[in-house]
Structures are given as structure tokens and as C-alpha cells.
């Protein structure tokens, strides 16, 4: 088991990447696909928004249930279940007869998800403590990169193979992920009877700091709000900045993906830095960097400036994700770690639902630029909360 965790990490990264991508790759072409399904005239935008958000909403409400099962049956089994379930749900999107079936299958895809929190719990339970930041940082890049690069992948695949075939291709890749998980991921886990499970109240009692845990949940939510709030207005904001409609969708895809690229590059190194300096310090640095990036986005004068700031924002994302996961692994009891990660994933998913709603509402009332300043207010609140929660630990290298 001393070396198995590295192989598990590699396979889990692949699964997290394609799970994240499956949630977001429909964004560039979902309005066109919904239109092809003969959705009611004048309601294309409504159904497009629902199709994107319903998956994250379903994943949020079901995540604690899958976390409970993982603590009873094992994380590997839940990863296999999630990959298999999403294979069916994603592949079936190519054959839906109307928009209502599309929404139902997108909702089902969210209900059957759960690969990411269980992979995180698996690696957190197996990686040596001195390597936990690096391992969880590397794993975090999979989900982040999948979510952020997914739209670009979806647009390219739709252009080459057609919209329906994108779902079949993604389902096939998720099926391969399931096979890789079955044959190459190993876990030494003894199933626990339901009556013998540690109740959630006891898990929270054994958690070294419930205040810090709740603060991390809030950080996860705000992180996703910041990442996704730009989604509904990005193309329109770029058009306003450039006064040019040439290659608008392509440029938008690049700007969305920019933060994913930098997050992938930065996360493992920032995870290692967290192992040395303390993940709580790296988390605070990441929050300050995100604030420094969000505020000037509202003053951007060109798509290039916006793209550079989004790229820099990815470094803060690369600091926050592994730091959150590493701190959770150190303060949560092993008997309930899957449930704790599942609740953190729930906040992640709710952030993905809330972000586009915040972005579209603020843009409608106050303009596109106000979206970034509103997000900055969320980050300021998060910084204050984190400083209060970490005040006792700022002079120590680790929490717990």
C-alpha cells in the first residue's frame, strides 16, 4: 500500500478530469442542441440555463448520501458506481427525444456522480501525511481542469464530430475510466455494518475544529461562485470589450480555459508548498491573490487583459483546492472522512449553481463589470472568516 497510492492517484486524476469535464462540456453548444430538440420558441435560454445547473444541483443534494455509503462500503466501490452511472447518463444524452428528457438525464447524471469526493477521500486516507498536500493538490487539478477546460473540449468535439457524438464519446471515456478504476485502483477497506457506523454527530465531535471545517465549506462554495459567475456573461462582456464578433466563441473558450491551465500547472507545487509552510497559510495567500485578480477584471479594457487576469486567477484556484482538501484530511476522523468530503463537494456543487445565478442577476441590474466586484465582496468575507478561524494556527506549520 506504500506505493499503491501513487497508482491510485494517477487513475483517480483521470476519473476526476473526465467527471469534471462531463459536467461542463455542454456549455458551448447546449443552446443549439436544445434548439435541435424543438424546445418551445422563446425559452431556449431558460432551458439552457436549467440544463447546465440541474446537474450540479442534483450532485449537491445526493452527495452526502453517497458519502455515507462510502464510509460503509468503501471509496473504490463508490468511484466505480459513479463512473458506471455517469457512463449511462452521459451516453444517453445523444438519444433523448426532447428537451424534457435532456433535463431528466442531466439531473440523473448529477444524481449518479460522486467520483471526485470519493477519489479525494481515498487518496487522503492513503497518501503519507508528509505527501498529503502534494497528492491532494495533484488530484485537485483533475476536477478543476475538467470543469474549466471542458467547455473548450466540448466546442471542439462538437465542431469535429457533431453535438450528439460528443455525448457518446464522453460516455465511452467514462466507461474506460470505470474499467481503469476496477482493475487498477486498490483499497484495503473493511465494510462496516450500518448499525456500527459512527454517527455524524460523533464525527463532528471528533473533528479537531468544526469552525474551521465550516469555514472550508464556505471557501469551497465561494471559490466555485467566483469561477462560474462569469459564465453567463463572458461572451457578451468580451464582445463589449473588443467591439468585434470575429471568433467570439473561440476567444471566450480560451479565456474560460486560461484559469484551468494555470491551476493544473500550479496545484502540485502549491500542494508541496502547503506541506512545508502549512496549508492554511497557502489557502490565505490564495484568497488574497483571487481578490487581487477579481477587482481589476471589472476594469479590463480588452479581452487580452481579461484573459491574463483569468490566467493569474488559476494560480489562486490551484492554491485553494489542495489546501482545503489537505486541511480536511488532517482535522476529520478517518471513520467519517468520506462523509466530510461529500459535504464539501455539496458546497462545491451549490457554488456551481449559485455562481451563474449571481452573475446573470448582477449583470442584469448593475452591468457586466459589477459581477467581478460582487464576487470580490464574497472573497473579502471569506478572507475575514478564514483569518478568524486560523488565528490560533498562524504561528504553527499545520492544523491538527
Higher pLDDT, 149 or 400: 149
Share of the chain above pLDDT 70, in %: 97
Interhelix angle 115-126/337-366, rounded to 10 degrees, is 130
What's the mean pLDDT in 219-230? 85
Q: What span, in angstroms and rounded, lies between the C-alpha atoms of 246 and 259?
A: 23
Residue found under cell 483546492: 321
Supply the pLDDT for residue 400: 55
Other CB atoms within 10 A of residue 234 CB: 23
Tens of pLDDT, residues 249-263: 677 777 877 887 888
pLDDT at 244 over 70: no
Greatest mean pLDDT among 41-55, 244-258, 330-344: 330-344
Most confident range, picked from 29-38, 106-115, 144-153:
106-115
More confident residue, 138 or 291: 291
Percent share of the chain, pLDDT over 90: 42
Position 179 scores a pLDDT of: 96
CB atoms within 10 A of CB 104: 15
The C-alpha atoms of residue 383 and residue 281 are separated, in whole angstroms, by 12
Q: Could you say which DSSP state residue 195 is in?
A: G
Q: How far apart are CA 54 and CA 301, in angstroms?
A: 34
Q: Which CATH architecture has domain 4-183+198-389?
A: Up-down Bundle (1.20)
- The beta strands (E) that lie in the chain are given as none
User: Which range has the worst mean pLDDT, 88-102, 244-258, 294-308, 312-326?
Assistant: 244-258
Domain residue ranges of the chain, discontinuous segments joined by +: 4-183+198-389
pLDDT above 80 (res 76)? yes
How much is the pLDDT for 397? 65
pLDDT in tens, 174-191: 999 999 999 999 998 888
Instruction: Give, to the nearest 10 degrees, the angle between helix 163-184 and helix 75-92.
Output: 160
Residues in CB range of 368: below 8 A, 6 or more apart? 233, 236, 237, 240
pLDDT per residue as tens digits for the range 86-120:
999 999 999 999 999 999 999 999 999 999 999 99
Q: Cα(326)–Cα(348) distance, rounded to whole angstroms?
A: 16
**Dist CA 332 CA 226 (whole Å):** 26
Neighbours of 49 (CB within 10 A): 17
Kindly tell me if the per-residue pLDDT of 219 is higher than 80: yes
In the chain, what are the helix, strand and coil shares in percent, each to the nearest 5? Answer: 80, 0, 20
Q: How many CB atoms lie within 10 A of CB 319?
A: 31
Model pLDDT, residue 245: 63
Confidence of residue 83 (pLDDT cuts 50, 70, 90): very high
Report the distance separating Cα 116 and Cα 195, nearest Å. 27
User: Nearest CA to 28 among 360, 310, 359, 256?
Assistant: 256
Averaged pLDDT of the chain: 87
pLDDT, average across residues 9-22: 90
As to burial, measured by CB atoms within 10 angstroms (0-12 exposed, 13-18 middle, 19+ buried), residue 243 is exposed
Q: How far apart are the first and last CA of the chain?
A: 24
Give residue 22's pLDDT.
81
Name the pTM for this structure. Answer: 0.84
Kindly state the DSSP code that residue 396 receives in the 8-state scheme: S
For residue 42, name the pLDDT band (cuts at 50, 70, 90): confident
Determine the average pLDDT of the residues in 268-292: 89
Taking CB atoms within 8 Å and a gap of at least 24, the contacts of 12-15 are: 12/79, 12/119, 12/122, 12/123, 12/139, 12/142, 12/181, 12/185, 13/138, 13/139, 13/141, 13/142, 14/142, 14/177, 14/180, 15/79, 15/83, 15/115, 15/119, 15/142, 15/177, 15/180, 15/181
Amino acid at each position: 500500500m506504500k506505493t499503491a497510492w501513487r497508482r491510485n492517484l494517477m487513475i483517480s486524476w483521470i476519473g476526476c478530469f473526465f467527471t469534471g469535464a462531463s459536467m461542463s462540456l455542454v456549455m458551448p453548444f447546449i443552446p443549439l442542441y436544445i434548439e435541435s430538440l424543438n424546445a418551445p420558441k422563446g425559452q431556449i435560454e431558460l432551458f439552457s440555463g436549467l440544463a447546465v445547473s440541474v446537474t450540479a444541483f442534483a450532485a449537491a443534494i445526493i452527495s452526502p448520501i453517497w458519502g455515507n455509503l462510502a464510509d460503509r462500503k468503501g471509496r473504490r466501490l463508490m468511484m466505480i458506481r459513479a463512473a458506471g452511472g455517469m457512463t449511462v447518463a452521459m451516453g444517453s444524452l445523444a438519444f433523448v427525444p426532447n428537451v424534457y428528457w435532456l433535463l431528466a438525464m442531466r439531473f440523473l447524471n448529477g444524481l449518479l456522480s460522486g467520483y471526485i469526493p470519493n477519489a479525494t477521500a481515498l487518496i487522503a486516507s492513503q497518501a503519507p501525511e508528509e505527501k498529503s498536500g502534494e497528492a491532494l493538490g495533484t488530484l485537485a487539478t483533475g476536477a478543476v481542469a475538467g470543469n474549466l477546460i471542458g467547455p473548450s473540449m466540448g466546442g471542439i468535439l462538437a465542431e469535429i464530430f457533431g453535438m450528439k457524438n460528443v455525448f457518446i464519446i464522453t460516455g465511452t471515456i467514462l466507461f474506460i475510466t470505470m474499467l481503469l478504476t476496477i482493475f487498477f485502483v486498490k483499497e484495503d477497506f473493511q465494510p462496516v455494518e450500518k448499525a456500527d457506523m459512527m454517527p455524524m454527530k460523533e464525527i463532528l465531535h471528533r473533528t479537531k475544529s468544526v469552525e474551521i471545517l465550516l469555514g472550508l465549506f464556505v471557501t469551497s462554495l465561494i471559490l466555485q461562485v467566483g469561477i462560474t459567475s462569469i459564465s453567463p456573461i463572458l461572451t457578451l462582456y468580451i464582445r463589449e470589450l473588443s467591439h468585434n464578433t470575429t471568433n467570439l466563441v473561440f476567444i471566450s473558450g480560451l479565456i474560460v480555459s486560461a484559469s484551468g491551465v494555470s491551476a493544473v500547472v500550479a496545484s502540485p507545487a502549491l500542494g508541496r508548498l502547503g506541506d512545508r509552510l502549512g496549508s492554511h497559510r497557502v489557502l490565505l495567500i490564495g484568497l488574497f491573490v483571487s481578490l487581487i485578480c477579481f477587482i481589476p477584471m471589472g476594469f479590463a479594457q480588452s479581452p487580452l487583459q481579461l484573459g491574463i487576469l483569468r490566467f493569474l486567477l488559476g494560480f489562486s484556484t490551484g492554491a485553494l483546492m489542495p489546501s482545503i482538501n489537505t486541511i480536511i484530511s488532517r482535522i476529520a476522523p478517518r471513520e467519517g472522512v468520506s462523509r466530510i468530503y461529500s459535504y464539501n463537494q455539496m458546497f462545491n456543487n451549490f457554488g456551481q449553481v449559485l455562481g451563474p445565478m449571481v452573475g446573470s442577476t448582477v449583470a442584469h441590474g448593475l452591468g457586466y463589470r459589477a459581477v467581478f466586484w460582487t464576487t470580490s465582496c464574497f472573497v473579502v468575507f471569506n478572507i475575514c472568516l478564514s483569518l478568524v478561524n486560523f488565528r490560533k494556527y498562524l504561528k504553527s506549520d499545520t492544523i491538527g
